[in-house]
């Protein structure tokens, strides 16, 4: 004979898992819509090939350097981010670094709850220079910019 209490518990657990999956999907959709409202395009394609005219941007995170030479460096927890940081204090799509020329590299916060700090100041948009210290949630990094 089946146990009605056990059957009800299994049904509730299945519903909970379903709701958690739906919540994740909705959060990702919300983050993508926020980015689009700010004029940023969030795509799911791999990062574009390096543009030989773009500057190199190196981000040193916890002693590990990562170099980029693409126009947009999307930073967040989502798999489609150019720089994926799997940490709970980092938003799914936290910030984007736009690198046009050596003298025109900027970071844009995408409405993240924890915010984006550059040299200790909370910013929405800020031009970056080599040596600037960036903090996304609890994650700290140092930026180096050099010509192509």
Closest CA to 107 of 86, 122, 90: 122
Q: Regarding predicted confidence, which is higher, 53 or 83?
A: 83
Closest CA to 94 of 106, 83, 104: 83
What does the pLDDT look like over 68-126, one tens digit per residue?
A: 888 889 999 998 899 999 899 999 999 999 998 888 899 999 999 999 999 999 999 99
Closest CA to 90 of 103, 109, 67: 109
Q: What gap in Å lies between CA 81 and CA 102, rounded to an integer?
A: 22
What does the pLDDT look like over 1-47, one tens digit per residue?
A: 566 666 677 777 777 777 777 777 787 777 777 766 665 443 444 45
pTM of the model: 0.64
């Amino acid at each position: 004979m089946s146990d009605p209490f056990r059957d009800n518990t299994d049904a509730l657990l299945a519903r909970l898992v379903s709701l958690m999956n739906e919540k994740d999907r909705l959060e990702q959709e919300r983050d993508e819509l926020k980015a689009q409202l700010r004029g940023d395009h969030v795509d799911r394609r791999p990062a574009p090939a390096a543009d030989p005219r773009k500057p190199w941007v190196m981000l040193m995170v916890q002693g590990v350097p990562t170099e980029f030479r693409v126009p947009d460096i999307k930073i967040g927890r989502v798999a489609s981010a150019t720089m994926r940081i799997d940490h709970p204090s980092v938003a799914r799509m936290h910030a984007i670094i736009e690198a046009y020329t050596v003298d025109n590299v900027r970071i844009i916060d995408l409405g993240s709850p924890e915010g984006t700090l550059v040299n200790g100041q909370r910013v929405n948009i800020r031009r970056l220079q080599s040596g600037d210290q960036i903090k996304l949630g609890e994650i700290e990094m140092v930026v180096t910019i050099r010509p192509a």
